[in-house]
Structure 1
Amino acid sequence: MNNRRSFIIKSTLGMIGVGLSPSWLQSAPSILRNYNKPNSKINGVQIGCITYSFRSMPDQSAEATLNYVTECGINAIELMGGPAESFAGMPESTVDRRKLGQLLGKQRRGESLSVDERKELVELQRESEAHGKLVADWRSNTDFKAFEKLKKMYKEAGVSIYAFKPSAFGRGNSDLEIAYGMKAAKALGASHVTLEHPSNDAHTQKLGKMGETHRMAVGYHGHEQQTFDFWDTALAQSPANGLNFDAGHYIAAGHTDIMDLLKKHHKRILSMHTKDRQTPANGKGNLPWGEGDTPIQDILHLIRDEKYRFPATIELEYPVPDGSDAVKEVQKCLEYCRGLLG
Structure 2
Amino acid sequence: MKSNERRTISRRGLLGSAAAAAALAMAPGGALRRVGAQATDKPNSKFNGVQIGTITYSFRDLPGTAEDILKYVVQCGISSIELMGGPVEQHAGVPAAMRGGRDMTDEQRKAMQQSREAQLQWRLSAPMEKFRALRKMYNDAGVNIHIVKFGNIGDGNMSDGEIDYYFNVAKALGARGITRELSEEAAKRLGPIADKHKIMIGFHNHTQMTPTTYDGPILSYGKYLGINFDIGHYVAGTNQSPIPIIEKFHDRILSLHLKDRKVNNGPNMPFGQGDTPVALVLQLLKREKWDIPADIELEYRVPPGSNSVAETTKCVQFCKEALA
Question: Which TM bucket (shorter chain)?
Answer: 0.7 to 0.9
Match of 1:238 among 222, 240, 243: 222
**2:320 pairs with 1:316:** no
TM-score, L = length of structure 1: 0.79
Report the CA distance shift for 1:301/1:93 in structure 2 as closer, same or farther (over 3 A).
Answer: same
Task: Give the counterpart letter for 2:53 in structure 1.
Answer: G
Structure 2 residue aligned with 1:49: 54
**2:138 pairs with 1:154:** yes
Percent of pairs with identical residues? 42
CA distance in 2, matches of 1:43, 1:122: 58
Does the 8 A contact of 2:210 with 2:238 survive in 1? no
CA distance in 2, matches of 1:284, 1:33: 41
Structure 1 residue aligned with 2:268: 286
CA distance in 2, matches of 1:176, 1:148: 20
Can you list the C-alpha shifts for 1:206-250, whole angstroms capped at 9, x where unaligned?
201101111111111110111223234121221010001110000
What is the CA-CA distance between 1:167 and the residue it aligns to? 4.3
Report the CA distance shift for 1:328/1:205 in structure 2 as closer, same or farther (over 3 A).
Answer: same
Report the CA distance shift for 1:34/1:325 in structure 2 as closer, same or farther (over 3 A).
Answer: closer
Task: Give the counterpart letter for 2:59 in structure 1.
Answer: F
Once structures 1 and 2 are overlaid, which stretch shifts more, 129-138 or 248-257? Answer: 129-138
Does the 8 A contact of 1:272 with 1:311 survive in 2? yes
Structure 2 residue aligned with 1:208: 191
Report the CA distance shift for 1:319/1:209 in structure 2 as closer, same or farther (over 3 A).
Answer: same
What is the CA-CA distance between 1:131 and the residue it aligns to? 2.7
Structure 2 residue aligned with 1:17: none
CA distance in 2, matches of 1:336, 1:179: 38
RMSD: 2.3
What is the CA-CA distance between 1:144 and the residue it aligns to? 0.6
**2:124 pairs with 1:136:** no
CA distance in 1, matches of 2:206, 2:249: 17
**2:321 pairs with 1:339:** yes
Which secondary structure does the structure 2 equivalent of 1:267 belong to?
helix
Does the 8 A contact of 1:40 with 1:75 survive in 2? yes
Task: Give the counterpart letter for 1:48 in structure 2.
Answer: G
CA distance in 1, matches of 2:108, 2:179: 27
What is the CA-CA distance between 1:35 and the residue it aligns to? 5.7
Structure 2 residue aligned with 1:106: none
Structure 2 residue aligned with 1:67: 71
CA distance in 2, matches of 1:333, 1:274: 9
Which secondary structure does the structure 2 equivalent of 1:95 belong to?
coil
Once structures 1 and 2 are overlaid, which stretch shifts more, 152-161 or 231-240? Answer: 231-240
Does the 8 A contact of 1:34 with 1:158 survive in 2? no
Identify unmatched segments of 5+ residues in structure 2. Answer: 1-36
Structure 2 residue aligned with 1:305: 287
Task: Give the counterpart letter for 1:82 in structure 2.
Answer: G
Can you list the C-alpha shifts for 1:276-297, whole angstroms capped at 9, x where unaligned?
00000xx511111111100011
**2:226 pairs with 1:221:** no
Task: Give the counterpart letter for 2:235 in structure 1.
Answer: I
Structure 2 residue aligned with 1:188: 173
CA distance in 1, matches of 2:49, 2:103: 55
Which secondary structure does the structure 1 equivalent of 2:103 belong to?
helix
If you compute each CA radius of gyration, which structure gives the higher value, 1 or 2?
1
Can you list the C-alpha shifts for 1:126-178, whole angstroms capped at 9, x where unaligned?
65544322211111111011110010110000000111112450413221111
Return the structure number with greater relative CO, CA threshold 8 A, min gap 6. Answer: 2
Does the 8 A contact of 1:168 with 1:178 survive in 2? no
Identify unmatched segments of 5+ residues in structure 1. Answer: 1-31, 101-117
Does the 8 A contact of 1:234 with 1:242 survive in 2? no
Structure 1 residue aligned with 2:3: none
Which secondary structure does the structure 1 equivalent of 2:255 belong to?
strand
TM-score, L = length of structure 2: 0.83
Question: 1:258-297 maps to which residues of 2 (within 5 A)?
Answer: 258-280=242-264, 284-297=266-279
CA distance in 2, matches of 1:238, 1:279: 33
Report the CA distance shift for 1:34/1:191 in structure 2 as closer, same or farther (over 3 A).
Answer: farther
CA distance in 2, matches of 1:176, 1:56: 34
CA distance in 2, matches of 1:290, 1:265: 25
Task: Give the counterpart letter for 2:51 in structure 1.
Answer: Q
